[in-house]
Amino acid sequence: MMKTTLKEENNDYVMYFEGRLDTATASQVQLDVKPLIDNTDHDIILDCSKLEYISSSGLRIFLSILKSTKANGHHVYIRELSNDLRQVFTMTGFINLFEFK
Amino acid sequence: MKHRFRVIRSFSARLSLWVIVTATIILLVTAMVMNIVVREGILREEKLRASYALENAEQHIDGVFIAVETAVKNNVNEIKKNIHAPHEEMYRITREMVETNPMIVGSAIAFEPNFYPDQGRWFSPYSYRDTSSADGDPTTVIHEKQLGNSAYDYPNKEWYQTPRNLKQGYWSEPYCDTGGGEITMVTYSYPLLDDAGNVYAVVTADVSLEWLSQLMDSLKYYDHSYSFVLSRNGTFITHPKQDVVLNETIFSFAEKVGDTKMAQIGKEMVAGKMDMEPMKSPKLGKAFIFYKPVKHTQWSMAIVCSAEDFFKTATQAGILVGTLILLMLLILTFILYKGVKRLSQPLTLFTQAVDEVANGNLQATLPEIHTEDEMQRLRNSFCTMQQSLIQQMEELKRVNEQKGRIEGELKVASNIQRAMLPKTFPPYPDRDDIDIYGQLTSAKEVGGDLFDFYIRDEKLFFCIGDVSGKGVPASLVMAVIRSLFRTLSAHEHHPERIITQMNDRMAENNEQNMFVTLFVGVLDLPTGKLRYCNAGHNPPLLLTEKDGTKQKEFLPCDNNLPVGVMGGWKFALQETMVDTNTTIFLYTDGLTEAENADHQLFGEERMMDVILFATSQKIIDHMTDAVQTFAGDAEQSDDLTMLAIRYSQVQNTVRFHQKITLNNDVEQVPLLSEFVDTVCESLGFDPATTMQLNLALEEAVVNVMNYAYPPDTKGDIHIVAEADDKRLKVTVSDNGMPFDPTTHRSVDTTLSAEERPIGGLGIHLITQLMDSVNYERKNNMNVLTLRKKLPRMEELKS
């Protein structure tokens, strides 16, 4: 149901999300994003072009990535977020926290 | 007329008038008293003068009569001596008597009948003066004759009988001597007595009274006075009117002219009295009569004088005095008028100055007064008044400016306050289950009444309240209460809790002891369940229409304290079911206690009578008209607020029903997702909304999984999806621990990443995504009801 791919592009870590990031898949994704949380010297791009759905569990994962990366003085960018999901970001105020590409 | 009023209204004219009137009265009274005194004096003088004149006349008369008597008596011895002498001697004696006494016109010696037998019955030698002779010498022509004869039987005559019987001298009544011209005569008879004392002859002397008339004429003082003499029996002896002499008595005359007063005077005169009396003379009119007796003959003399003659001088003096008085009064009037006008001149100037002040020129110059009198004091008072006026005007101006500023601010405050109240009616045009209308009429610019309502989670929250007091203080509290209502009800749908919290917050710092009567209601629109709490407010009226019967009743309310009176007070919740087609009518005491001019109250009974079964706006408009008609011109004393809520439950048939039961494992979430997708597809939701419903349901279910059941315990979660024509209703229920997610719904979305907590997003999202979220603990189960409006048919088509 949910697939993540981590790539390094132009010295940035890019994580591709594909499918539904709901509570059921969140525990697996939590493990998948460990490298991003542990990362200390790269900006991060979260590619959401194929993300169909995100619930609060998913948002929490995004927030934890943001908190750890910001602590190292790096940026987290969200890329290619669909309008429907952007609305969720807006409702929760997450739109103010992240930088969008 | 107009001119006269103007004169009378002038101060100087009025004062002058008073003085003139007083002076006139005093002078007139003085003149009258003087006149009376003068007249009295004149009368006294005249009386004295008349009595002297009459005295003199009497003496004259007495002189004549005594002379005659003496002459007669002197011949008595001569007669006695010659009684037996030849009869010629007797003729001689009579002749000598006439010759020597000019007053005597005739003299007789009448003897007793048959005294001389040779002479027969009558012997009476008589000598008399012929006054009718042509040469007029009274001494020359003296005739002699025998008096008695058969035609003139003298012994029976009065002049003979009376002295004979009295044996003393006797004056006869005057009579007219027709023999020698019309001469008034009087005869003195004297009896001759022999040694035995018997009368043998009577000697007489006839006296003409020509001189008496002359004497009386000489008593005439005035042009219009006359005098007369009365005999013993009242016959006129002399009188200027010759025809009354000897022909009339004063009594017959009085009777003829009908004058009783004259008869009265006649009696007095005949009685020998002396006096002065006013009378009416046929000749002179108003007159005075002075009368005095002639003792010797028992006659009475009188002088009649015209009153006009008497008082001529007095009248002349009166006219003179009157003229003088008139002249003096004219001069006095002139002087007074001019003087008073001069004195009151400053008053006119003051009037002008004060008029000027009244017209707004406060700096008007006052007239200068150089006299140190009342006018000076008046000027000082005016001066003080002027200064005081200037100060007061400035003060007034300042106060007015301040007032204007306050009024301006009040107007702004009023606008702010109005903005706090719902003002768009109908408020929910797209809803057909609720019809609300509210109206607040402030007695002042700002007031202490409030009402509010809004719908959250398919629940209508509404309140109506009345802050103690009026005006600005009440309006501040009103604003606080209104904002507390909104704040507290945002997370709380139990009215008693809303009110309890409000009460605690208000009571905390309530130094002014302000309080609010407040009714808070929460109407669950899908079910018609009304939860309410009344903090000392007027109980609302329920208007129900059921099966064609209309009913009006008050909503039963517990007796609670008003808000703000006592902190910590437990307000109790009350519940009722509201049937469809019921109107809840809420109001403040400004309605029931509206007063008319007679201080009668509008009252609950009148309210019940007036109220209509109609739309909310009609109910309130009709009630407003009724109150205005009742109050009439009476000023509105309190804020008047009404709120009508008409509820019609929409009974839509359920046309869709699906359910699923999950256990508390997050791995079951995809099943939920499937279920939601199926439901959304059946109901025609678009993909975006489907995703939102997915998200909301997942959050709701995960919340239960995470919090309702303790870790490592198994439990079920029942999800039921139902839909009528309008809405989708999803119920999530579980029999876990009581957990109300709606109390944690607020998330601060403005915090930075570092500050944002990881949790609490779920319920926030549910609230954002669904139209309403309701939690209830029912039958030991947590029941969360989520509603979402169905897409409209036209949206579906497009």
Which residue type occupies B642? M
Look at residue B688 and give its three-state secondary structure.
helix
Partners of B227 in the β-ladder: B303
The answer to whether A72 faces chain B, any CB pair under 8 Å, is: no
Minimum mean pLDDT among A93-97, B138-142, B288-292, B471-475: which range?
B138-142
Residue B155 lies in a domain: yes
Min Cα distance A10 → chain B (Å) is: 26
pLDDT over threshold 50, residue B1: no
Q: Do B756 and A97 touch (CB under 8 A)?
A: yes
Q: Is residue B723 within 8 Å of residue B786, measured between CB atoms? A: no
Q: What percent of chain B has pLDDT over 70?
A: 94
What six digits make up the tokens of B335?
A: 């002087």
For residues B564 and B467, give the distance between their C-alpha atoms in angstroms, rounded to a whole number.
10
pLDDT of residue B733: 93
Give the pLDDT mean for B438-459: 87
Q: Do B753 and A97 touch (CB under 8 A)?
A: yes
Are B31 and B146 part of one and the same domain?
no
pLDDT over threshold 90, residue B574: yes
* CATH assignment of the domain containing B732: 3.30.565.10
Are B563 and B683 part of one and the same domain?
no
Q: Do B688 and A87 touch (CB under 8 A)?
A: yes
The answer to whether A82 faces chain B, any CB pair under 8 Å, is: no
Bridge pairing between strands B183-193 and A99-100: unpaired
Would you kindly state where each structural domain of chain A is located, as residue ranges?
2-100
Q: Do A57 and B747 touch (CB under 8 A)?
A: no
Partners of B108 in the β-ladder: B126, B204
Task: Say if residue B282 is preceded by a cis peptide, omega within 30 of 0.
Answer: no
For residues B541 and B612, give the distance between their C-alpha atoms in angstroms, rounded to a whole number.
12
pLDDT of residue B87: 82
* Among candidate residues B647, B664, B679, the one where a domain is terminated: B647
* Neighbour order of strands in the sheet with B434-441: B434-441, B640-647, B582-587, B541-546, B549-554
pLDDT of residue B179: 59
DSSP state letter for B155: G
Are B126 and B271 part of one and the same domain?
yes
A-chain residues within 8 Å CB-CB of B667?
24
DSSP state letter for B368: P
For residues B394 and B397, give the distance between their C-alpha atoms in angstroms, rounded to a whole number.
5
Residue B383 lies in a domain: no
Q: Do B666 and A92 touch (CB under 8 A)?
A: no
Residues sharing a CB contact under 8 Å with residue B736, sequence separation 6 or more, in sequence order: B664, B704, B707, B708, B709, B715, B782
Helix count and strand count (H, E) for chain B: 21, 27
* CATH assignment of the domain containing B440: 3.60.40.10
Are B627 and B719 part of one and the same domain?
no
- Across all residues in chain B, what is the average pLDDT? 85
pLDDT of residue B753: 64
- Count up the domains in chain B and report the number: 4
The string of DSSP letters for B392-437 reads HHHHHHHHHHHHHHHHHHHHHHHHHHHHHS---SSS-TT-SSEEEE
Are B299 and B328 part of one and the same domain?
no
Q: What percent of chain B has pLDDT over 90?
A: 23
pLDDT of residue B501: 92
Min Cα distance B666 → chain A (Å) is: 5
Q: Which of B179, B109, B185 is nearest to B147 (CA)?
A: B109
Residues sharing a CB contact under 8 Å with residue B442, sequence separation 6 or more, in sequence order: B414, B449, B639
pLDDT 10s digits, B707-765:
888 888 888 999 999 888 778 899 999 988 888 887 765 666 677 766 766 567 888 88
Residue B406 lies in a domain: no
B-chain residues within 8 Å CB-CB of A20?
673
Q: Do A1 and B691 touch (CB under 8 A)?
A: no
Residue B500 vs residue B35, higher pLDDT: B500
Give helix B345-358 / helix B312-343 axis angle, nearest 10°: 40
Give the pLDDT mean for B125-141: 66
Residue of B nearest to A1 (CA): B670
pLDDT over threshold 80, residue B651: no
Tell the residue number behind the tokens 């009226």, with chain if given: B541
The answer to whether B762 faces chain A, any CB pair under 8 Å, is: yes
Q: Is residue B563 within 8 Å of residue B617, measured between CB atoms? A: no
Are B185 and B129 part of one and the same domain?
yes
Asked if the A2-100 domain carries CATH number 3.30.750.24, the reply is yes
For residues B330 and B328, give the distance between their C-alpha atoms in angstroms, rounded to a whole number.
5
Nearest to B762 among A56, A83, A88 (CB): A56
Instruction: Compute the count of residue pairs across chains A and B with CB atoms less than 8 Å apart.
Output: 74
pLDDT 10s digits, B330-378:
898 888 888 887 877 878 888 888 888 888 887 888 778 777 778 888 8
Distances (CA, A) of B129 to B105, B171, B258: 5, 20, 42
Partners of B554 in the β-ladder: B541
Q: Which of B621, B798, B770 is nearest to B693 (CA)?
A: B770
Residue B457 lies in a domain: yes
What six digits make up the tokens of B216?
A: 């009386």
Q: Is residue B537 within 8 Å of residue B466, measured between CB atoms? A: yes
Q: Do B761 and A64 touch (CB under 8 A)?
A: no
For residues B426 and B368, give the distance between their C-alpha atoms in angstroms, rounded to a whole number.
75
List of long-range contacts for B486-493, beta carbons under 8 Å, 24+ apart: B486/B452, B486/B454, B489/B456, B489/B461, B489/B520, B489/B522, B490/B456, B491/B742, B491/B743, B491/B745, B491/B746, B493/B456, B493/B457, B493/B459, B493/B461, B493/B522, B493/B531, B493/B774
pLDDT 10s digits, B511-521:
888 899 999 99
For residues B504 and B566, give the distance between their C-alpha atoms in angstroms, rounded to a whole number.
8
What six digits make up the tokens of B567?
A: 């902190």
Are B76 and B48 part of one and the same domain?
no
For residues B498 and B194, give the distance between their C-alpha atoms in angstroms, rounded to a whole number.
168
Residue B529 structural domain: 421-647
For residues B701 and B699, give the distance between their C-alpha atoms in angstroms, rounded to a whole number.
6
Bridge pairing between strands A99-100 and A76-79: parallel
Substitution target in A23, A48, A75, A94 with the highest count of B β-carbons within 10 Å is A23
| Residue B8: pLDDT band with limits 50, 70, 90 | low
Residue B312 vs residue B695, higher pLDDT: B695
pLDDT of residue B617: 93
Q: How many CB atoms lie within 10 A of CB A76?
A: 23
Substitution target in A55, A60, A95 with the highest count of B β-carbons within 10 Å is A55
Of these ranges, B241-245, B577-581, B653-657, the one predicted with the greatest mean pLDDT is B577-581
CA–CA–CA angle B568, B572, B576 (5° rounding): 160
What six digits make up the tokens of B137?
A: 């010498």
Minimum mean pLDDT among B79-88, B259-268, B310-319, B746-755: which range?
B746-755
For residues B120 and A25, give the distance between their C-alpha atoms in angstroms, rounded to a whole number.
214
pLDDT of residue B747: 65
Nearest to B765 among A56, A70, A96 (CB): A56
Are B469 and B499 part of one and the same domain?
yes
Residues sharing a CB contact under 8 Å with residue B546, sequence separation 6 or more, in sequence order: B579, B581
CA–CA–CA angle B452, B456, B458 (5° rounding): 115
Strand boundaries in B562-692, DSSP class E: 574-577, 582-587, 640-647, 656-663
Residue B581 lies in a domain: yes
| Residue B535: pLDDT band with limits 50, 70, 90 | very high
Give chain A's residues under pLDDT 50. none
Q: How many CA atoms lie within 13 A of B61 on its CB side?
A: 26
Min Cα distance B688 → chain A (Å) is: 6
Min Cα distance B525 → chain A (Å) is: 27
The answer to whether A96 faces chain B, any CB pair under 8 Å, is: yes
Q: How many CB atoms lie within 10 A of CB B195?
A: 6
* CATH assignment of the domain containing B92: 3.30.450.20
pLDDT of residue B584: 95
The answer to whether A95 faces chain B, any CB pair under 8 Å, is: no
Nearest to B691 among A23, A53, A93 (CB): A53
Are B642 and B575 part of one and the same domain?
yes
Residues sharing a CB contact under 8 Å with residue B788, sequence separation 6 or more, in sequence order: B689, B693, B727, B728, B730, B770, B771
Residue B544 burial by CB count (10 A; 0-12/13-18/19+): exposed, middle or buried?
A: middle
Are B467 and B616 part of one and the same domain?
yes
Q: Is residue B280 within 8 Å of residue B287, measured between CB atoms? A: yes
| Residue B78: pLDDT band with limits 50, 70, 90 | confident
- H or E element at residue B67: helix B11-74
DSSP state letter for B792: P
Residue B104 burial by CB count (10 A; 0-12/13-18/19+): exposed, middle or buried?
A: buried
pLDDT 10s digits, B144-175:
888 888 888 888 888 888 898 988 888 888 88
Are B599 and B729 part of one and the same domain?
no
pLDDT 10s digits, B729-741:
999 999 888 888 8
For residues B94 and B144, give the distance between their C-alpha atoms in angstroms, rounded to a whole number.
9
Residue B729 vs residue B654, higher pLDDT: B729
Nearest to B694 among A53, A60, A93 (CB): A53
Which residue type occupies B539? P
* Neighbour order of strands in the sheet with B656-663: B656-663, B716-723, B727-734, B781-789, B772-778
Q: Is residue B237 within 8 Å of residue B176, measured between CB atoms? A: no
The answer to whether A34 faces chain B, any CB pair under 8 Å, is: no
pLDDT of residue B546: 82
B-chain residues within 8 Å CB-CB of A57?
702
B-chain residues within 8 Å CB-CB of A63?
753, 756, 758
Residue of A nearest to B705 (CA): A23
Nearest to A24 among B669, B695, B749 (CB): B669
- Across all residues in chain A, what is the average pLDDT? 90
The answer to whether B755 faces chain A, any CB pair under 8 Å, is: no
Nearest to A63 among B749, B758, B768 (CB): B758
Min Cα distance A47 → chain B (Å) is: 19
Are B281 and B322 part of one and the same domain?
no
Phi-psi region of A63 (alpha: psi -120 to 50; beta: other; left: phi over 0): alpha
